[in-house]
């Protein structure tokens, strides 16, 4: 049985103790480390840039899943790849030439993802679905951690799962924002492959246990 994957989000870590927090994630059942890059333009918040990605690369045993919430991401693909990104996802809303950017990411050797805001319909990725390795479905409006899960995402996961199956595509469905023990089962049942978890892991009394609980929900296997 193929299990779903867990990607703790570094945005919720203690920035004064990044090495400690990354090592802590290394010792959990987490699969990827999710790294949120925000430019203060595409989203209202500014997080961090390639130098922090290098720090994450130095200490993380897990693949770095870099989520670019920036305008004109094509300017920085190679920079983030060189900094250590294993996966690079760009927003469809920031890319008028998405197909070109996806090819650009693949040329660097990274896995290529497209991220989709809550208001963007799944129909808009129909013509790119066969080209991407990951679809990041935003279940909050991007920009901040600790927000409430937008329930309509469940319908979008189902629609996307159907699209992927119909097209025989290989993209993984990653759900990002407001994910925790309270909704993980519904998200997985709807057809998600990867759960991003920021606050539900880093703010937990026992982050190790929080990852374990998310990882062992155990209903995967329907479409494995
Ligand atoms: C939101 C980011 C998320 C965020 C998730 O803009 O893309 O990855 O870190 O944090 P939580 O899990 O706390 O909603
Ligand atoms: Zn993210």
5-215 falls under which CATH superfamily? Answer: Aldolase class I (3.20.20.70)
Atom of ligand 1 nearest to the CA of 45: 6
pLDDT for residue 100 is more than 50: yes
Residue 224 confidence (pLDDT) above 60: no
Are 7 and 34 spatial neighbours (Cβ–Cβ below 8 Å)? yes
d(CA 60, CA 26): 6
82 noted as active-site residue: no
Q: What is the pLDDT of residues 135-177, one digit of tens each?
A: 999 999 999 999 999 999 999 999 999 999 999 999 999 999 9
In this prediction, residue 221 carries a pLDDT of 42
Q: Write down the pLDDT at residue 219.
A: 54
User: Around Cβ 177, how many Cβ atoms within 10 Å?
Assistant: 25
In the chain, what are the domain boundaries?
5-215
Ligand 1 atom nearest the C-alpha of 179 is 12
DSSP-based three-state secondary structure for 46: strand
Contact 208, 28 (CB under 8 A): yes
Active-site position among 36, 39, 65, 86? 36
28: which 2 tokens?
A: 């959990």
What is the tens place of the pLDDT at every residue in 31-53?
Answer: 999 999 999 999 999 999 999 99
Taking the CA of residue 11 as reference, the ligand 1 atom at the shortest distance is: 9
Angle, CA of 206, 207 and 212, to the nearest 5° = 100
> How far apart (Å, rounded) are the C-alpha atoms in residues 183 and 192?
12
Would the CB of 12 count as within 6 Å of ligand 1? yes
Interval 61-85 mean pLDDT? 99
**Active site (annotated) includes residue 39:** no
45 in Cβ contact with 16 (< 8 Å): no
- Among 36, 114, 134, residue to substitute to test ligand 1 (most atoms within 8 Å of Cβ): 36
Q: How far apart are CA 214 and CA 203, in angstroms?
A: 14
Is residue 130 within 8 A of residue 150, CB to CB? The reply is no
The yes-or-no verdict on residue 220 having pLDDT over 70 is no
């Amino acid at each position: 049985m193929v299990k779903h994957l867990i990607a703790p989000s570094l945005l919720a870590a203690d920035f004064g103790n990044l090495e400690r927090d990354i090592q802590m994630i290394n010792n959990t059942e987490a699969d990827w480390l999710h790294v949120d890059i925000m430019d203060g333009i595409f989203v209202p918040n500014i997080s961090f840039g390639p130098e922090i990605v290098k720090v994450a690369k130095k200490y993380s045993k897990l693949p770095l899943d870099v989520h670019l919430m920036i305008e004109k991401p094509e300017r920085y693909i190679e920079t983030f790849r060189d900094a250590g990104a294993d996966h690079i996802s760009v927003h469809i809303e920031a890319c008028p030439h998405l197909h070109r950017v996806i090819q650009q990411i693949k040329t660097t050797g990274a896995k290529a993802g497209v991220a989709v805001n809550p208001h963007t319909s799944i129909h808009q990725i129909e013509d790119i679905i066969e080209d991407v390795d990951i679809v990041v479905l935003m279940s909050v409006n991007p920009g901040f951690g600790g927000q409430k899960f937008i329930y309509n995402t469940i319908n979008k996961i189902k629609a996307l799962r159907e699209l992927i199956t119909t097209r025989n595509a290989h993209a993984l469905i990653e759900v990002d924002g407001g994910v925790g023990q309270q909704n993980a089962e519904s998200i997985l049942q709807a057809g998600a492959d990867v759960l991003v978890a920021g606050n539900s892991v880093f703010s937990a009394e026992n982050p190790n246990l929080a990852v374990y609980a998310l990882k062992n929900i155990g209903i995967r296997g329907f479409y494995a």
